């Protein structure tokens, strides 16, 4: 880490503390380029308490593509469940899979919508995307010791 970047991080820490003292809800994250930035909840996307988790796409476009894939699976399993058959286990299994995929689809729609809105806000404000590393702890000096807090 270069001296210039360390000074920049300290400036971001100071600004973040000032915004928290004013009562704003802010989250410290590394950007996709590795710089430190203080994000408002509407700028983050998928989760208000952290960067997008690793099991979610980092783009709303990928979320839409996954939703299309989920819908194809739902239609397939619904077709299997409705197909005339004497095997009741196959029908029940297909209906359970349809219910699970519908639940996953609703969760994915909510996450994709949140990421789309956050991407639009970041674009308007000229902010970079948050990285996938998660929240950064705030360094503090407590009783002469260097520690961290969230």
pLDDT digits (tens, 9 = 90+) for 90-117: 888 888 888 888 888 888 888 888 888 9
The mean predicted confidence, pLDDT, of the chain is 76
Name the H helices within the chain.
3-21, 41-44, 60-82, 88-125
Radius of gyration of the chain measured on its C-alpha atoms: 22
* Strand order across the 130-135 sheet: 36-39, 27-31, 130-135
What is the DSSP code (8-state) at residue 50?
B
Separation of alpha carbons 113 and 147, rounded Å: 37
Return the pLDDT at 6: 57
- CA 74 centroid distance within chain: 25
Separation of alpha carbons 119 and 125, rounded Å: 10
**Choice among 2-16, 62-76, 94-108, 133-147 with the minimum mean pLDDT:** 133-147
Instruction: Please report, rounded to a whole number, the percentage of residues in the chain having pLDDT higher than 70.
Output: 73
Contact 133, 29 (CB under 8 A): yes
Separation of alpha carbons 117 and 42, rounded Å: 8
What confidence tier does 140 reach under pLDDT thresholds 50, 70, 90? low
Q: Comparing C-alpha atoms, which of 61, 52, 26, 71 is closest to residue 131?
A: 52
Return the pLDDT at 124: 93
Residue 53 has pLDDT above 70, yes or no: no
Cβ contacts of residue 122 below 8 Å, gap of 6+?
Answer: 43, 128, 129
> What pTM did the predictor assign?
0.66
pLDDT digits (tens, 9 = 90+) for 26-44: 888 888 787 888 888 888 8
Which residues partner with 141 through β-bridges?
146
């Amino acid at each position: 880490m270069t001296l210039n970047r360390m000074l920049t991080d300290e400036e971001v820490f100071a600004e973040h503390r000032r915004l928290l003292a004013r009562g704003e809800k802010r989250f410290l994250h590394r950007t996709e380029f590795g710089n430190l930035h203080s994000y408002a909840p509407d700028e983050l996307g998928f989760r208000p308490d952290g960067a997008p988790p690793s099991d979610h796409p980092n783009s709303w476009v990928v979320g839409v593509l996954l939703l299309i894939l989920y819908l194809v699976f739902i239609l397939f399993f619904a077709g299997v469940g409705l197909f005339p058959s004497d095997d009741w286990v196959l029908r029940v299994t297909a209906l359970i899979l349809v219910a699970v995929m519908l639940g996953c689809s609703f969760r994915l729609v909510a996450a994709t919508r949140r990421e789309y809105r956050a991407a639009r806000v970041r674009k308007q404000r000229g902010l970079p995307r948050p990285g996938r590393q998660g929240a950064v702890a705030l360094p503090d000096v407590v009783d002469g010791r260097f520690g961290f807090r969230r």
